């Protein structure tokens, strides 16, 4: 998956490389639309985002889709930039370490896939009905 040395924590570029591998693994019918979404890795979500989502603990948010889902876009939308999937490195690392039952690459794939599902217009309930990851 990458040349990450398991004795050190991966940096933002290594997390992004894992995320790009996840996008490459999407079914062909989703890849073109997925390629239009930017990937960004930050240490944590900004405070204003956490406040808006009513999240008190910044370690609770591993990823976020920032954009207009394809099911809601119209020709009249004038985007200021591309839709973005944000990955938050420290919360991802914390979850990976605390779970102990998945590889870091698998966790990143899961977070990216979950956020990409929002891009395709799926709600959290839709995603939960087919993805039992959190159980």
Measure the CA–CA gap between 117 and 99, rounded to whole angstroms.
23
Rounded to 5 degrees, φ, ψ at 109 are -60, -45
CA atoms within 13 A on the CB side of 30: 15
pLDDT at res. 100: 84
The predicted model gives 43-64 an average pLDDT of: 96
Q: Which of 134, 111, 121, 82 is nearest to 16 (CA)?
A: 111
pLDDT at 133 over 60: no
* pLDDT level of residue 1 (50, 70, 90 thresholds): very low
pLDDT greater than 80 at residue 118: yes
pTM of the model: 0.84
Per-domain residue ranges for the chain?
Answer: 12-68+82-126
Q: What mean pLDDT is predicted for residues 99-127?
A: 85
| Percent residues over pLDDT 90 in the chain | 44
CATH number of 12-68+82-126: 3.30.2010.20
The sign of the dihedral angle between the CA atoms of 106, 108, 112, 115 is: positive
Q: C-alpha angle 134/18/120, rounded to 5°?
A: 60
Of the two residues 98 and 4, the one the predictor is more confident about is 98
């Amino acid at each position: 998956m990458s040349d990450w040395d398991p004795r050190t924590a991966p940096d933002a570029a290594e997390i992004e490389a894992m995320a790009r591998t996840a996008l490459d693994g999407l079914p062909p019918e989703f890849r073109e639309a997925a390629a239009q979404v930017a990937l960004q890795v930050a240490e944590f979500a900004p405070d204003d985002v956490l406040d808006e989502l009513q999240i008190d603990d910044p370690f609770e948010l591993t990823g976020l889709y920032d954009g207009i889902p394809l099911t809601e876009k119209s020709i009249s939308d004038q985007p200021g930039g591309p839709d973005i999937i944000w990955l938050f490195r420290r919360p991802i690392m914390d979850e990976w370490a605390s779970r102990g039952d998945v590889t870091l690459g698998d966790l990143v794939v899961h977070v990216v896939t979950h956020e990409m599902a929002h891009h395709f217009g799926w709600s959290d309930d839709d995603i939960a009905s087919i993805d039992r990851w959190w159980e």
